[in-house]
Amino acid sequence: RWSLPMAMSITHRGTGVALSLGVSVFGLAALLLPEQYPHYLAVLKSLSLGPALICSAKFALAFPFTYHTWNGIRHLV
Protein backbone atom coordinates (compact mmCIF):
# COMPACT_ATOMS: atom_id res chain seq x y z
CA ARG A 1 0.00 0.00 0.00
CA TRP A 2 1.34 3.42 -0.98
CA SER A 3 1.96 5.97 1.75
CA LEU A 4 2.82 9.66 1.50
CA PRO A 5 6.41 9.30 2.84
CA MET A 6 7.09 6.50 0.37
CA ALA A 7 5.78 8.56 -2.57
CA MET A 8 7.80 11.59 -1.44
CA SER A 9 10.96 9.48 -1.16
CA ILE A 10 10.51 8.05 -4.64
CA THR A 11 9.84 11.52 -6.07
CA HIS A 12 12.90 12.89 -4.25
CA ARG A 13 15.11 10.20 -5.80
CA GLY A 14 13.56 10.75 -9.23
CA THR A 15 14.13 14.50 -9.12
CA GLY A 16 17.72 13.90 -7.97
CA VAL A 17 18.38 11.62 -10.94
CA ALA A 18 16.71 14.10 -13.31
CA LEU A 19 18.83 16.97 -11.96
CA SER A 20 22.03 14.94 -12.28
CA LEU A 21 21.22 13.95 -15.85
CA GLY A 22 20.18 17.49 -16.76
CA VAL A 23 23.37 19.06 -15.42
CA SER A 24 25.49 16.36 -17.10
CA VAL A 25 23.78 16.83 -20.48
CA PHE A 26 23.97 20.62 -20.24
CA GLY A 27 27.66 20.50 -19.33
CA LEU A 28 28.46 18.02 -22.10
CA ALA A 29 26.52 20.14 -24.61
CA ALA A 30 28.44 23.25 -23.49
CA LEU A 31 31.69 21.43 -24.19
CA LEU A 32 30.77 19.80 -27.49
CA LEU A 33 28.45 22.20 -29.34
CA PRO A 34 30.29 24.50 -31.74
CA GLU A 35 28.48 27.79 -31.05
CA GLN A 36 28.26 29.90 -27.91
CA TYR A 37 25.17 30.17 -25.67
CA PRO A 38 23.81 33.44 -27.20
CA HIS A 39 23.53 31.73 -30.60
CA TYR A 40 21.34 28.93 -29.24
CA LEU A 41 19.26 31.41 -27.26
CA ALA A 42 18.62 33.38 -30.47
CA VAL A 43 17.60 30.17 -32.26
CA LEU A 44 15.17 29.38 -29.45
CA LYS A 45 13.69 32.89 -29.59
CA SER A 46 13.30 32.66 -33.37
CA LEU A 47 11.02 29.62 -32.99
CA SER A 48 8.25 31.91 -31.66
CA LEU A 49 6.92 29.37 -29.20
CA GLY A 50 3.64 30.20 -27.53
CA PRO A 51 3.46 31.42 -23.94
CA ALA A 52 1.76 28.21 -22.75
CA LEU A 53 4.65 26.09 -24.03
CA ILE A 54 7.24 28.46 -22.58
CA CYS A 55 5.54 28.45 -19.15
CA SER A 56 5.27 24.66 -19.26
CA ALA A 57 8.97 24.34 -20.07
CA LYS A 58 9.90 26.73 -17.26
CA PHE A 59 7.78 24.71 -14.82
CA ALA A 60 9.37 21.46 -16.03
CA LEU A 61 12.82 22.93 -15.37
CA ALA A 62 11.99 24.57 -12.03
CA PHE A 63 9.89 21.84 -10.39
CA PRO A 64 12.60 19.19 -9.91
CA PHE A 65 14.99 21.73 -8.43
CA THR A 66 12.50 23.26 -6.01
CA TYR A 67 10.95 19.94 -4.96
CA HIS A 68 14.32 18.28 -4.41
CA THR A 69 15.65 21.27 -2.45
CA TRP A 70 12.64 21.70 -0.16
CA ASN A 71 12.21 17.98 0.40
CA GLY A 72 15.90 17.72 1.32
CA ILE A 73 15.52 20.57 3.80
CA ARG A 74 12.39 18.89 5.22
CA HIS A 75 14.33 15.65 5.62
CA LEU A 76 17.20 17.40 7.43
CA VAL A 77 14.84 19.17 9.81
- Give the pLDDT confidence of 24-64 residue by residue, as tens digits: 999 999 999 999 888 988 998 899 898 999 999 999 999 99
pLDDT for position 55: 93
Residue 61 lies in domain: 4-76
Mean pLDDT of 15-20: 95
Residue 24 belongs to domain with CATH number: 1.20.1300.10
Go through 18-48 and write b for each residue having 16 or more CB atoms within 10 A of its CB, e for each that does not. Answer: beeeeeeeeeeeeeeeeeeeeeeeeeeeeee
First-residue to last-residue Cα distance in the chain: 26
Which pTM was predicted? 0.76
Query: Is pLDDT above 90 for 14?
Result: yes
- Total structural domains within the chain: 1
Query: Is pLDDT above 90 for 70?
Result: yes
pLDDT for position 41: 87
